[in-house]
Amino acid sequence: MEAKAANKGARYGIPRLAATRAVPERLTPFGLEPKRPDLGAFVHFFLDDRRFERVWRNMERSVESLKKFAGALTPDFSVRRDMPLAEQIWNVYRGMKIGETMQEAGIATIPSATWSDERSWEFCFDGLPEGGVVAVSSVGIGRDPVALRLFRSGCEGLLRRMNP
């Protein structure tokens, strides 16, 4: 079982997850497992938020169902540059709160880093542990040059600040 992180993001109260060195061999999407799920895989949430909103609404039950897998990434609730900052902060908080609950349940948990633009850097890295494994998704970037530039600059910011 991973050790519980000692503090929360000072300004926004975002739970800070404990670092992990776990690196999944395979990923399986949440809620889309076949009849015979790959229990050796880590569950990911790089999906439309509607597919995993129920994890937030019924966290204990959802976390219990994740225990049968090798581990899980934290839910990657949308953080888009067209969203109000308050909603972006809320979505980062929810992902890290679920991650904290997963770690407390003994699930190998990899935090998912998510950001929109430079304004979101003030809070988007708050729950991430320094020096641990972090997951990042490029889903939704497509061929949008602005989104690609912001993704790259966010990755650089993540590397500088968190040293994953």
Q: Which helix (H) or strand (E) holds 156?
A: helix 145-162
* Tens digit of each residue's pLDDT (9 = 90 or more) over 134-161: 999 998 888 889 999 999 999 999 999 9
Residues in the chain: 164
> Which residue did the predictor score with more confidence, 4 or 152?
152
Question: What is the token pair recorded at 38?
Answer: 């790959």
Q: Which helix (H) or strand (E) holds 2?
A: none
Give residue 143's pLDDT.
Answer: 86
CA distance 47 to 41: 17
Question: What is the token pair recorded at 60?
Answer: 């204990």
Using CA atoms in the order 18, 39, 52, 24, what is the torsion angle rounded to 10 degrees? 40
* Tens digit of each residue's pLDDT (9 = 90 or more) over 5-59: 555 656 799 999 999 999 999 999 998 767 788 999 999 999 999 999 999 999 9
* Tens digit of each residue's pLDDT (9 = 90 or more) over 44-101: 999 999 999 999 999 999 999 999 999 999 999 999 999 999 999 999 999 999 999 9
pTM of the model: 0.91
Question: What is the token pair recorded at 112?
Answer: 């998912």
Give residue 140's pLDDT.
Answer: 82
Paired strand residues for 110? 73
